[in-house]
Chain A
Amino acid sequence: MPEYWIGDAEGRVLGPVSLDVVQDLVNSGRVTEITRVSRDGRNWGIPASFPEVMTLLLNAPSPEALLQSERQEATRVREQLRAMQGRPPHEIFRLDRNASVDAYRNAFFKLVKRFYPDRVRAQAHPDLRKAYADAFQFLSRLMVHIERELSSGGPVSPLPTVRAVPSPPADDEPLTPVPTPPPQTARPLKVVPRSLTPPPRPSPLTPPSRPSPLVPPAPSHEGSYSYQPHEFVGFERHDDRVEVTIKVTARNSRMFTDHPLANLKTDGFFLACARSLPLGTLVDVIFRFEEDRREVRSRGRVILENTGGDPTRPTGFGVRFITLVEKDRRFMQQYVDKSVVH
């Protein structure tokens, strides 16, 4: 099989790989800038010296064709999502009916990764972004549901449908306008006052939640779980991430415990607040534990958001830590334990 090495502007090298792989990577937009090519990994030339590689580059889908193909992919994802809805969770995850929660978690992480917001390129068609976000949200809600059902000892039932997946737009419908790339300059974010957040409306399709010995009852928006505006220190947007500074008190330390998917035991937290962040947002978090005069810094990614779609949960966003120093984790756990005792 013919072997190729390709290099990018940052000096990184991939190879030996077949020309088919180069084609896959070029066509999917995973590799956008090939600056040099080699057939032996030692002697390099510009792409124009390799007609077969140049052909791939010249035949790479145009931005318009890429957008069209992404729109078709969005339709496929929506169809998959519709097929998943209402099916027993063990079938969705291809597990035995009596699978353990760990088996569900493993299967969940594998499946949800297909729809992870990072998999969509920055300039992707908005329909695809939306379809991925919907699939990601559905699977995240399903996993919360599974954890609840298993912790209460019952069999896992299908996730009650809260809202249907919208039908794909007709082919002759105009394409959704493609957003312009985000500005590269920093811009401040406004903290939205809570009064502007629409109150959650109970859905007639949502069954009453069952009490569970492990999962606390869904908190009220105005309860102690919610993070109040005066407790905010701030959001600050940078080029590729958002810096979130959070003042932690004994009252709001439930951000580390109450959400079944985003809590300290799952390497994350859920900030119940009016301001949400889109899925996949890279977040630098600064926790200020003022009583202990300690600051903990970590980096994470938004793994779930609730802008009011799930009325059983407060609005806000959940983050999973990417980096959290072990001693900081221990400190936070001790802080949470202490707060619960008091």
Chain B
Amino acid sequence: MSDGPILIVDDDAFVRTLLREMLAGQGHPLCEAENGQQALDLEGPAPKVVLLDLFMPQMSGMEALALFRDRWPTTPILVISSMDSDRLVQEALDAGASGYITKPFHPVEIASAVERVLAA
């Protein structure tokens, strides 16, 4: 498992704050980006988990997902989206997402999903 942070990628500052608060107690370092490109510009070790929104400006979450997969091949990527179409979930999983969490989400759900992918 990477020593890097949990990376939160969402254009909504409120959601980023929310996720940060939810994960603060788990003891993992956290960092965040407003979009996929900003995430790719980050320096340092590979993130240990990425939490990724799908509907974002500049670079869509699906595009970011493909680029993240290339750059950090072993990092689990959890998609977090309010778009709960079954076919979209399937397409995100096919594109390499490790999991798909629909908004609204609960702290327990986020924390346990992160722990699950870290333990896998």
Contacts and interface: CB of A to CB of B under 8 A. Distances in A.
Interface stretch (A79-87, A108-116, A194-202): A108-116
Given A14-B62, A110-B109, A116-B104, A28 B85 contact: yes
Contacts of B88: 17, 21, 24-25
Given A12-B55, A30-B82, A323-B18, A17 B62 contact: yes
Contact of A109 (B57, B87, B103, B109): B109
A109 B83 contact: no
Nearest to B63: A41
B28 interface: no
A322 interface: yes
Interface string B6-43: 00000100100110010011000000000000000000
Contacts, number: 83
Given A13-B60, A18-B91, A41-B60, A118 B85 contact: no
A322 B18 contact: yes
Contacts of B63: 15-16, 41
A110 B61 CA distance: 24
Nearest to A118: B104
By size class, the interface of chain B is: 20 to 34
Nearest to A41: B63
Contact of B85 (A25, A113, A301): A25
A10 interface: yes
A25 B59 CA distance: 19
Contacts of B73: none
B11 to A, nearest CB: 7
23 contacts: A10-B57, A11-B58, A12-B56, A13-B55, A13-B56, A13-B58, A15-B63, A16-B62, A17-B62, A17-B88, A21-B85, A21-B91, A24-B86, A41-B60, A41-B63, A105-B108, A106-B112, A109-B109, A118-B103, A119-B84, A323-B14, A323-B17, A326-B24
Interface of A: 5, 8, 10-18, 20-21, 24-25, 28, 30-31, 41, 105-106, 109-110, 113, 116, 118-119, 267, 301, 320, 322-326
Interface of B: 11, 14, 17-18, 21, 24-25, 54-63, 82-88, 91, 102-109, 112
